Every structure is written in C-alpha cells, then in structure tokens.
Structure 1
Amino acid sequence: MTIENLTTDNKTIIQQALAGLLTSGSTEGLEPLLSRDFVHHRPDRDSTRSEWLASIQAALVPLADQQVEVLHLLADDDHVVMHTRRRLPDGGPEIVVVDILRLADGLVVEAWETIEPVADAASHLTWWQLVR
C-alpha cells in the first residue's frame, strides 16, 4: 500500500466515523474504529477510550440538532486533520473545532482536539499582548 492510498483510506475512515456519529446519534459505530489503547488529548486533560466515548455519547443527546460544517479535511500519512464549524442548537454558541487524529492499522489511536467559541476568536488573537 502506498502512502497516498493510506492517506485516502484514513481520510475515508474519519469521514465515515463523523457521518455515522451525526446520523445515528450514537457512538456505537465509532467504537470499533478506536484502538483499545486510544487516548484523547485536550489542553486540560487526557482521557481513555471508554472515558472519551462516554463523554461523546453524553454530548450527543443535547447536541442532536447541531449543524456541523466540515471546512477542511486533510490527511497526510497516518494523520487526519478535521476543521469544523458547529452551530449548537437552541441558540447555543457557534464553535470552531480542530481535531487531529492519528491512525494505525485502520484504527484511531490518538486524537487531539481544540474548541473555540467563534465569539471569543477576536480576544484569542491578541493573547500575546497580555504577556508584555
């Protein structure tokens, strides 16, 4: 298998996982795509496979009507980067999410996530001014 095929396959795996998650409202289809030693990294803490699946499932119920727009889906070798804009239901904030996923043998082994409310973006662009 070439790197180009691997990259395309990994991108397809992530596209199918997101589509299944959003259409089913369940992590059931996502679970088999995660390795047993999967780790989810966030700036505040890491979580295990079971912890992450539980948190995603809990969030799916109140977020069932969210609109997800995939802005970029990029793949390079064993990494896939997904940049989405999400409009939360019931007037909730609009957020931008960047997910970085590392795959091995067709399974997601690591994921990193950054979430930013669109309303806070301007203040986050000037963080370095606070350092002076």
Structure 2
Amino acid sequence: MTTDNKAIVQHALTTLLETRSIDALAPLLSDDFIHHRDTAASTKTEWLAAVDAALTPLAGMEIEVHHLLSDGDHVVMHSRRRLPDGGPAITVADIWRIADGLIAEGWEVIEPTALAAANRAWWEADERSPAQRP
C-alpha cells in the first residue's frame, strides 16, 4: 500500500510538471480535497486556482526531490526548489494523505534555504542563566 501511495504522489507531481495544467491534476485529487498552509486552508477548487496562478511565474522552477517517504495513508516529500530567474532556493516539506487512490489532503511547509541557519537559533543551547533569559 505505501508503495502505491508514493506512486500516486509521484504521478501527480510528474503530471503537473509535464502538462503544466491543473486540468490534468484535478482528477488525482479527491472531491473533498483540502490543503493546509500556515493559518489558512483551501478547498480543491481554491488550491487548484492558486496552483494555476503560480504556473506561469514559476515556469522553469527546478525541483530536486530529496526524500519521498510513506507511512500508511501519508506520503512525505522533502524537496529543494530553485525559483526561476535567479530566485532563491527554498526547502519544502509536503505531506499528503491518500484515500481511495486519490490525494485527499495536503500540508506544506516552505522555508527559504538561506534562512535555515538563522531559523535554527532556537534549537541551540541557551547558555545564559535562567535569571537572564526572557
């Protein structure tokens, strides 16, 4: 089952990149598909419209998939993407839930790759005494 779920996600990404058409992507999403990002959620129609609007400005974007992992009905894709025309590299983690052979739900986290080190600062040990910490 997990191999099939990975194949579904791979097929959806390949279809979108090869056809550059949401008409080819739409049948791969369930009718009640929902996409989560930060503080908002999008329905299938809203998300496809956003993808369609991004197709032209993102033409030429390079995508390098580093990991494609599956666990049960979830598939996680970790990729690095270079935006076109010398734009910055971004690191993306997509999580997809598969139901009945279709992508039913998605989550996305995007981080500009150049900011990764600065965004890890919270992880580093705070060497101040507890009284000096905010």
Question: TM-score, length-normalised on structure 1?
Answer: 0.90
- Indicate the residue corresponding to 2:74 in structure 1: 79
- Indicate the residue corresponding to 2:116 in structure 1: 121
- Indicate the residue corresponding to 1:26 in structure 2: 21
Cα displacement (A) at 1:119: 1.1
Cα displacement (A) at 1:30: 1.3
Cα displacement (A) at 1:116: 0.4
- Rounded to whole Å, the distance in 2 between the matches of 1:58 and 1:13 is 23
Structure 1, unaligned stretches of length 5 or more? 1-5
> How many corresponding residue pairs?
127
| Cα deviation 1:42-92 (Å, max 9, x = unaligned) | 112111110000001111111110100000000111000001100011111
List 4+ stretches of structure 1 deviating above 2 A.
127-132
Letter in 2 for 1:113: E
- Indicate the residue corresponding to 1:8 in structure 2: 3
| Cα deviation 1:4-47 (Å, max 9, x = unaligned) | xx111110010011111111111222101111111101112111
Matched, 1:36 2:37: no
- Rounded to whole Å, the distance in 1 between the matches of 2:29 and 2:14 is 15
Q: What secondary structure does 1:116 align onto? A: strand
Q: What secondary structure does 1:123 align onto? A: helix
Structure 2, unaligned stretches of length 5 or more? 127-132
- Rounded to whole Å, the distance in 2 between the matches of 1:127 and 1:64 is 35
- Indicate the residue corresponding to 1:100 in structure 2: 95
Letter in 2 for 1:125: R
Question: TM-score, length-normalised on structure 2?
Answer: 0.89
- Rounded to whole Å, the distance in 2 between the matches of 1:96 and 1:27 is 23
- Indicate the residue corresponding to 1:66 in structure 2: 61
* Percent identity over paired residues: 59
